[in-house]
Amino acid sequence: MHFELPETELRRVESSPTRGFAAGCRAVRLRAVTNFDPQLIAELSALRDADLLRELRRVDSLAGTRAAIGGRELLNFSSNDYLGLAQHPALKEAAVKAVEKFGSGSGASRLVCGSLAVHHELEEALAAFKGTEAALTFSTGYAAAQGAIVALLGKGDVLIVDKLIHACIVDAAKLCGAKLRVFRHNDMSDLEAKLKWAGKQSAVSGLRPARTLVVTESVFSMDGDLAPLRNIVELKERHGAWLMVDEAHGTGLFGKRRRGLVEEFGLTGRVEIQMATLGKAVGAAGGAICGSRKLVDLLVNRARSFVFSTAPVPAAAAAARAGLAIIQSQEGETRRQRLWLLVEELKRVLISAGFPPSAVRAPIVPVPVGAEARAVQFSVALREAGVFVPAIRYPTVARGAARLRFTVSAEHTAEDIATLGDALGAIANRQS
């Protein structure tokens, strides 16, 4: 088949101020057999015009809080490696040993022949850490969310999510076919209204009772605020719904034993599905669902992102297990305390430079900026000053709610934070 991009469309692209794309468009048109590239060029051009174009930045080396980008070493305030474990010698060593023992790849899906001892050891360690009967790991947190939701819900069920829930849950919602309802961020009366609505839906879904699942993050990834988990648990119990808590940014940081916010609020036995990611504070890669043995048994059968996907690489599983061991040790507590001190220091520095952050108690400290272009300008200015802080824009956050998202690691030093403060101060002076 042969499609031509309508001439009007092409003209629109050519008269766009983004010359790179226009030139690319003309060059492609000479060779184009279909309208494939011209269409994509038009779309990319529209993203650029709206200050929403994203491009990959190659990082040539990463050493904890430093990132070599474009031949320069930048001070990195953008990583989710909150406890600084991704560069920890114990995790590196565990990864290397696992490669030596099992090889670089897992060979197959867990249900074929990829269910290696390292995966089982990691899952036992995860269940013990989270205080649940069992745990199941996935290659990514994204896959864990997708697997769990698609396994548990179908047409005729109801999924109720916080407005700011992570994209992996939104995508899973679309895929599972359940009726989706969104409650205003952390708004308990709106959640209750949605639960009441769910109660009026059909009581059956196929041959089984209909299900209602509420999903929230514990620590919100782009806002750094906390979900009122106690109230959510009370509400879901009163309405006979189930709860899934995405602890991507809570695991390792909250609770006496650093299990997460579910532990901090004393709710371990009352949350049906606890999700964790292993690529943030745990310092490795992967995702996990923790809960009852029956939940894990069901996921092994029904979670499509588990069944039809090659097992996580041995190195990642072994590193995650080593990361969990450190989190549970005195070193984990020391690192956490250090992180909170640095977060307080960062907030002080931001306020005195005239960039007041939102009030949060998390290693994620967002500074609301508003316009997408402005957030990008700040990010570029900071990079020129030797500091890497990403501009977070739509679709990660709502349009017009762009922000700078500062994240801190236990490996930062007080001098690092002071350097950031100086850079921000200089930028603020230039602006005024």
Ligand X SMILES: *Cc1c(COP(=O)(O)O)cnc(C)c1O
Binding site for ligand X (CB under 6 A): 140-142, 145, 166, 168, 217, 221, 246, 248-249, 277, 279, 287
Active site includes 221?
Answer: yes
- Min dist CB 10 to ligand X, Å, is 38
Q: In terms of C-beta density within 10 A (0-12 exposed, 13-18 middle, 19 or more buried), how is residue 380 classed?
A: exposed
- Min dist CB 222 to ligand X, Å, is 8
Residues with Cβ within 8 Å of residue 104, at least 6 apart in sequence: 313, 314, 315
The one catalytic residue in 119, 194, 280, 412 is 280
- Min dist CB 218 to ligand X, Å, is 9
Residues with Cβ within 8 Å of residue 348, at least 6 apart in sequence: none
The one catalytic residue in 221, 305, 379, 409 is 221
- Min dist CB 80 to ligand X, Å, is 7
For tokens 């300008």, what's the residue?
Answer: 377
Q: In the complex with ligand X, which residue's Cβ is closer, 168 or 191?
A: 168
Q: In the complex with ligand X, which residue's Cβ is closer, 16 or 146?
A: 146
Asked if 273 contacts 247 with a C-beta cutoff of 8 angstroms, the reply is no
Active site includes 194?
Answer: no
Q: In the complex with ligand X, which residue's Cβ is closer, 168 or 339?
A: 168
Residues with Cβ within 8 Å of residue 26, at least 6 apart in sequence: 14
Q: In the complex with ligand X, which residue's Cβ is closer, 16 or 305?
A: 305
- Min dist CB 59 to ligand X, Å, is 16
Q: In the complex with ligand X, which residue's Cβ is closer, 169 or 353?
A: 169
The one catalytic residue in 123, 157, 217, 225 is 217
- Residue 175 to residue 169: CA distance in whole angstroms: 10
How many CB atoms are located within 10 Å of the residue 338 CB? 18
The one catalytic residue in 88, 119, 130, 166 is 166
Cα separations (Å) of 272 from 121, 207, 240, 370? 22, 22, 12, 37
- Min dist CB 290 to ligand X, Å, is 14
Q: In the complex with ligand X, which residue's Cβ is closer, 201 or 396?
A: 396
- Min dist CB 183 to ligand X, Å, is 17
Q: In the complex with ligand X, which residue's Cβ is closer, 24 or 286?
A: 286
- Residue 5 to residue 215: CA distance in whole angstroms: 42
Q: In the complex with ligand X, which residue's Cβ is closer, 248 or 367?
A: 248
Counting other chains too, the contacts that 4-10 makes at CB distance below 8 Å and 24 or more residues apart are 4/35, 5/35, 5/38, 5/39, 5/42, 9/38, 9/42, 10/38
In sequence order, what are the beta bridge partners of 212?
158
Q: Read out DSSP for 153-206? A: --TT-EEEEETT--HHHHHHHHHH-PEEEEEPTT-HHHHHHHHHHHHTS-SEET
Active site includes 246?
Answer: yes
- Min dist CB 141 to ligand X, Å, is 2
3-state secondary structure of 383: helix
- Residue 233 to residue 117: CA distance in whole angstroms: 35
- Residue 19 to residue 17: CA distance in whole angstroms: 6
Residues with Cβ within 8 Å of residue 277, at least 6 apart in sequence: 140, 141, 144, 247, 248, 251, 286, 287, 288
- Residue 241 to residue 263: CA distance in whole angstroms: 20
Residue 283, CA atoms < 13 Å, CB-side half-sphere: 33
Q: Which residue is nearest to ligand X (CB)?
A: 141
3-state secondary structure of 33: coil
Active site includes 80?
Answer: yes
- Min dist CB 236 to ligand X, Å, is 19
Q: In the complex with ligand X, which residue's Cβ is closer, 159 or 417?
A: 159
The one catalytic residue in 9, 37, 80, 185 is 80
The one catalytic residue in 236, 249, 347, 412 is 249
Asked if 332 contacts 258 with a C-beta cutoff of 8 angstroms, the reply is yes
* CA–CA–CA angle 14, 19, 25 (5° rounding): 50
The one catalytic residue in 81, 157, 223, 246 is 246
Active site includes 92?
Answer: no
Residues with catalytic function:
80, 166, 217, 221, 246, 249, 280
